[in-house]
Amino acid sequence: MLGKIFREPLVHFLFLGLLLFVLYGAVSPRQGDSEDRVIISQALVNEIAQAFQATWQRPPTVQELKGLVDSRVREELVYREGVELGLDRDDPVIRRRVAQKLEVLAEESAVQQAPDDAQLEGYLQQNAGRYAQPAVVAFTQVLFDPGRHGAQLEADMRAGLAQLEAGTSPDQVGDRTQLPGEVSATPVDLLARDFGGEFAQALPGLPVGQWSGPLASGFGAHLVLVSSMTPGRASTLVEVRQAVERDWENEQRQQAKKDYYAKLRKKFDVVIEAQLSPVATTGQP
């Protein structure tokens, strides 16, 4: 039986692998004492236990926690041995993960402290347009479909405008449409979803209390009566603090990542030997 086992190719492979491992350990330099120690702190054990509880909605038992710690120790030992053997080199997945982790560390270094009001106020002033409160408009609209009126569109709209100004009900002018005829006070950025951006942005410029037009949209041409309009204005920090703080933090992270990369470019001599011209490919026969 033993003879049969020793003749198996897999056994030969495992034996050669073990021999190479022992030889490497004999000729490779020993690591320092600090590298030979694996310390499992109380903070790490707490983190492992919290991760278990977040997954299973209960704390681990003593036996489960011991198993998790043993697994972490095993992982750390295998990882260190793999790095010592150079198994992390030329692996695109490992290289990408390490690069991503370093970028995260660079980002985190920029937002260790929450911004104060002065920083957020300054950021808000620099980006006032991004956080501006849109104009709020209420209006009535009558649609004229260019496909139905053709060359008569302009003349039909003039006639329709005259009817509306004379007091004719909007329901009796223009073409039927699924768009609402009357729209209550609504921010123009929300109106853009139904009527299109060009139509919505033109509304605040119309006079209040009189019919105007034509106003173009993706549906056709409109006659519009603006009944009320609250102009847009700049936001205060109290109104948009959460959004400003989020965007400020994100910008700090991105800038920190750019600064870190610029620092690395100064540290290393980057040589690109290849020509960066498109490589012509030939089709398969």
| Within-domain flag for 166 | yes
Counted domains in the chain: 2
For the segment 135-157, the average pLDDT, to the nearest whole number, is: 95
| Within-domain flag for 208 | yes
| Within-domain flag for 197 | yes
pLDDT of residue 275: 63
Q: Between 41 and 89, where is the model more confident?
A: 41
| Within-domain flag for 194 | yes
246-261 pLDDT, tens per residue? Answer: 999 999 989 988 998 8
| Within-domain flag for 274 | no
| Within-domain flag for 266 | no
| Within-domain flag for 184 | yes
Same domain, 85 and 141: no
Give yes or no for a cis peptide into 214 (omega within 30° of 0).
yes
pLDDT of residue 31: 40
Structural tokens at position 211: 């019919």
Same domain, 165 and 84: no
SS (H, E, C) the chain: CHHHHHCCHHHHHHHHHHHHHHHHHHHCCCCCHHHHCCCCCHHHHHHHHHHHHHHHCCCCCHHHHHHHHHHHHHHHHHHHHHHHCCCCCCCHHHHHHHHHHHHHHHHHHHCCCCCCHHHHHHHHHHCHHHHCECCEEEEEEEEECHHHHHHHHHHHHHHHHHHHHCCCCHHHCCCCCCCCCEEEEEEHHHHHHHHCHHHHHHHHHCCECCEEEEEEECCEEEEEEEEEEECCECCCHHHHHHHHHHHHHHHHHHHHHHHHHHHHHHHCCCCCCCCCCCCCCCCCC
d(C-alpha 185, C-alpha 203), whole Å: 12
Average pLDDT for the chain: 83
- pLDDT at residue 285 above 50? no
| Within-domain flag for 246 | no
Portion of the chain with pLDDT greater than 70, in percent: 83
Closest CA to 252 of 150, 128, 132, 108: 108
Same domain, 72 and 155: no
Question: Domain range holding 209?
Answer: 134-230
CATH code: domain of residue 218: 3.10.50.40
